[in-house]
Chain A
């Protein structure tokens, strides 16, 4: 396993674009801290984001993982190009001739995906602790450790998304087309949801769409803003009832895990079937 990771990181280490994108990703991740300084006016209210409780434990786990997850596209480009470059440079062929098996090749990519996701999760974990201890109103250990399952959800969300990218990279062999396909798929899921909702009910639509790859990854970490103080207050004033289930459920993790398996396995099956 270590050998396969070494091989893949050796390839990435010397590629300037991959290096720049990966570093940019982690730098931008650390910019989440800057949200603390955002202020804006809403009618007569002056709102300072940091005061709205976004950095309070345990909510901060939810908030940070959600914001960080939106930045996954940076790494997605790296993942897709790490497959498509092997095709365009025909180095995949050379790797196989040199004695790497197709399974080892696929595993080296998958391990890299896991390594990226793990590194990113660790990064968010450390950053959240620092931000939380600096700004949170509550720092009791029992509160700090609550809702840490969002980290697990974050990890699965990244691995799932990157596995999808990996699969698309193998399927279409061109990075631009693979990313384009990803975008088209996203639109497809949204349109399908719209049709389902229109033809049946919102409940049925939600029940069906949760099994689709992108939606299942989205469900792992729901939109956190409804939990913010000022939105809750506003909702209460309007007598509106927003009851959103934002928790991480085991079945959400299970659905994404099945997708991860399907993506990696199909990518391997495709690779195995193809003549190079």
Chain B
């Protein structure tokens, strides 16, 4: 598999504050990555370092196979960090033309990219007249100008209204379905869950997890059960070897698995014991629950 970005023990200290500490992970081509972490966990600093705007205290990173300088490699990258930054006195099209000159790409694609983000009709309006949502969409168009190998988005929906958030998400999904590698930094878990195949979780500058979303937690999921004979149900579950813990809340029994067990197997077992269920759901933890578990474990 082709590697797009490699981080090796990347570290950034601001005085005594360790913003990013010994961070290592790799980004492979074709996946959609999410960088998760609470506010101030070092997401933006990490992206700033690989994008050449923040100097690393120690450690290294490498774009693609490492044969080119960072700023040349960045010409093959599309990135939006924090806020859209453009020249306010230039129009949308003029701003994009400047980006084309910097990236050494043909300005012929400007209209096509403006169309993707639905801004074609505003291409001759000055950037200063744009709303935040339009600015953010223009930033996406600008990041797409070079048909990037990887698109980096840092909190792309921050500060937008629901329509704006929806528009941006749709655009991201369209881009992802085209096979572009995406790195999405966010503290909004449902956002990451909806589009990402892989996650990197950081907290206080330390990596907690990096890998596919499904393998984030070694857990095998849990059952939500309800029946008349609750006490019997609980005793059966407690004596079963595959369950790690049982919880009861408002008549709903939640049983967490430590070994794999299908719903059919459990249902058959309970039925033979004379317990008839009125409610049965097998679920995996949502990203949010997994994230909270993971961050709680370390406290």
Task: List the interface of chain B (C-beta within 8 A of A).
Answer: 48, 51-55, 69-72, 74-75, 77, 79, 81, 83, 85-90, 94, 97-99, 101-104, 142
Measured between beta carbons, the chain B residues less than 8 angstroms from A97 are 51-53, 74, 79, 81
The 7 residue pairs across chains A and B that have the minimum distance between CB atoms: A99-B75, A101-B71, A94-B85, A99-B74, A90-B85, A276-B53, A275-B54
Q: Would you call A7 and B98 a contact (CB within 8 A)?
A: yes
Given A10-B97, A275-B53, 13 extra CB contacts under 8 A: A6-B101, A10-B101, A11-B87, A14-B87, A93-B85, A96-B52, A96-B74, A97-B51, A97-B53, A97-B74, A98-B142, A99-B102, A276-B48
Instruction: Please tell me if A95 contacts chain B, counting CB pairs below 8 Å.
Output: yes
Measured between beta carbons, the chain A residues less than 8 angstroms from B142 are 98
14 A-B pairs within 8 Å (CB atoms) are namely A7-B98, A10-B98, A14-B90, A94-B86, A98-B142, A99-B71, A100-B102, A101-B52, A101-B69, A101-B70, A101-B71, A102-B52, A275-B54, A276-B53
Q: Would you call A99 and B54 a contact (CB within 8 A)?
A: no
Q: Would you call B71 and A11 a contact (CB within 8 A)?
A: no
A255 to chain B, nearest CB (A): 33
Map CB proximity to B onto A97-136 as digits: 1 under 8 Å, 0 otherwise.
1111110100000000000000000000000000000000
Residue of B nearest to A275 (CB): B54
Residue with the greatest number of chain B CB neighbours at <10 A, chosen from A89, A99, A104: A99
A16 to chain B, nearest CB (A): 7
- With an 8 Å Cβ cutoff, the count of chain A residues facing the other chain is 27
Q: Would you call A15 and B89 a contact (CB within 8 A)?
A: yes
User: How many angstroms from the CA of A16 to the CA of B89 in the assembled complex?
Assistant: 8
Q: Would you call A98 and B103 a contact (CB within 8 A)?
A: yes
Instruction: Please tell me if A229 contacts chain B, counting CB pairs below 8 Å.
Output: no
Measured between beta carbons, the chain A residues less than 8 angstroms from B87 are 11, 14-15, 85, 89, 91
Residue of A nearest to B91 (CB): A14
Residue with the greatest number of chain B CB neighbours at <10 A, chosen from A7, A97, A272: A97
User: How many angstroms from the CA of A272 to the CA of B54 in the assembled complex?
Assistant: 9
Q: Would you call B85 and A11 a contact (CB within 8 A)?
A: no
Q: Would you call B53 and A96 a contact (CB within 8 A)?
A: yes
Residue of B nearest to A88 (CB): B88
